């Protein structure tokens, strides 16, 4: 009897040895973030991050001082190639010596493939420089800048990889409030005179992104205009810093896509000057209407 019980126990033990082990639950990055972006989620932003609690992030003047700008003459084209697939975002900074800035910025990925392009206009390229971060996942990628202004209006360009603690991290650390802008709709954001610059993030849930960003100072007085297209607003979101010197500045974001293509916009004060002590972040009451 004891021998039979021992044989039964050995048989059960052997059967359990060949049974498949229970799989542990798998947590995917997609489940952790509803709207994951290859630029923002790859920088350590938020509680405990390198820029947590630091308003403004990296200084734009520091980027210009530590870079070697390339002069793009009026009517000419310059390109910057990034063959390393580890470079997932690049900084694009443009300025002039006080003349108007008018340029086309494109991202090339393979032959006849332009997943990201912008048309940039700035009334005074020295007072209000153009500062943006564009996503470049799955290299190689090429950034092309064409100065479509006259020969008398050259511009200075800086195009370089964005680090984990770079410009995108600084923008994401302050532009935390997001709202949905339906296709064909617009939102306006008035700012106090103490706000020196504004952080902007535009993205979608994976659909194309078509938008126009305007900086107005007075009725129908455009100081800066950016017409933006992105093939995938989730894979390649748009980060920008708009400088807002003076008073009466209003940032207007227009979703130029059809109603089936909403976008998610985050617009907040990036750097606040010493014009006075304000209890809020510089965004005026009634900021969206």
The alpha carbon torsion through 30, 33, 39, 44 (nearest 10 deg) reads -120
pLDDT at 89: 92
Three-state secondary structure readout of 172-184: HHHCCCCEEECCC
**Range 29-66 burial, b when 16+ CB lie within 10 A, else e:** eeeeeebbbbbbebbebeeebebeeeebbbebeebbee
* 86-137 pLDDT, tens digit each: 899 999 999 999 999 999 999 999 888 999 999 999 999 999 999 999 999 9
Distance CA 195, CA 10 (A): 77
Distance CA 228, CA 115 (A): 11
- Judge contact between 268 and 199, C-beta under 8 A: yes
Distance CA 280, CA 266 (A): 16
- Report the run of H or E that residue 169 belongs to, with start and end: helix 167-174
Distance CA 100, CA 153 (A): 7
Which of 48-55's residues contact partners 24+ apart within 8 Å by CB, and which partners? 49/169, 49/173, 50/164, 50/165, 50/169, 51/165, 51/169, 51/170, 51/173, 52/173, 54/170, 54/173, 55/174, 55/270, 55/271, 55/272
Higher per-residue pLDDT: 139 or 25: 139
How many whole angstroms from its chain centre is CA 121? 18
> Residue 43 corresponds to which tokens in the numbers above?
């920088």
- Judge contact between 157 and 131, C-beta under 8 A: no
In this prediction, what percent of the chain has a pLDDT beyond 90?
Answer: 59
Token match 């008398």: residue? 152
- Give the least confident one: 44-53, 147-156, 220-229: 44-53
Give the chain's radius of gyration (CA, Å): 24
- Sign of torsion over alpha carbons 247, 216, 118, 134: positive
| Residues β-bridged to residue 102 | 121
- Return the ∠ at Cα 233 (arms to 261 and 87), rounded to 5°: 175
* 228-276 pLDDT, tens digit each: 999 999 999 999 999 999 999 999 999 999 999 999 999 999 999 854 4
> Residue 220 corresponds to which tokens in the numbers above?
């129908």
pLDDT at 216 over 60: yes
- Answer whether 0.85 is exceeded by the pTM: no
pLDDT at 45 over 70: no
């Amino acid at each position: 009897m004891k021998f039979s019980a021992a044989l039964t126990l050995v048989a059960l033990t052997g059967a359990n040895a060949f049974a498949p082990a229970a799989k542990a639950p798998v947590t995917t990055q997609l489940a952790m973030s509803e709207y994951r972006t290859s630029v923002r989620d790859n920088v350590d932003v938020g509680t405990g991050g390198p820029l947590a609690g630091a308003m403004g992030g990296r200084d734009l003047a520091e980027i210009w001082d530590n870079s070697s700008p390339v002069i793009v003459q009026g009517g000419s084209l310059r390109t910057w190639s990034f063959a390393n697939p580890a470079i997932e975002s690049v900084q694009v900074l443009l300025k002039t010596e006080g003349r108007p800035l008018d340029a086309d910025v494109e991202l090339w990925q393979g032959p006849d493939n332009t997943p990201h392009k912008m048309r940039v206009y700035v009334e005074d390229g020295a007072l209000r420089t153009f500062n943006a971060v564009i996503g470049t996942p799955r290299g190689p990628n090429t950034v092309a800048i064409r100065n479509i202004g006259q020969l008398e209006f050259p511009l200075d360009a800086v195009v370089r990889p964005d680090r984990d603690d770079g410009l995108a991290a600084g923008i994401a650390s302050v532009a935390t409030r997001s709202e949905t802008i339906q296709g064909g709709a617009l939102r306006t954001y008035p700012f106090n005179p103490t706000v020196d610059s504004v952080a902007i993030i535009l993205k979608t849930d994976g659909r194309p992104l078509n938008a126009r960003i305007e900086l107005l100072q007075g009725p129908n007085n455009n100081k800066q205009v950016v017409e933006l297209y992105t093939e995938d607003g989730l894979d390649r979101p748009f980060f920008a810093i708009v400088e807002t010197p003076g008073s009466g500045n209003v940032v207007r974001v227009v979703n130029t896509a059809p109603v089936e293509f909403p976008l998610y916009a985050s617009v907040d004060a990036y750097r606040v000057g010493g014009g006075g002590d304000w209890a809020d972040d510089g965004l005026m009451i009634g900021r969206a209407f």
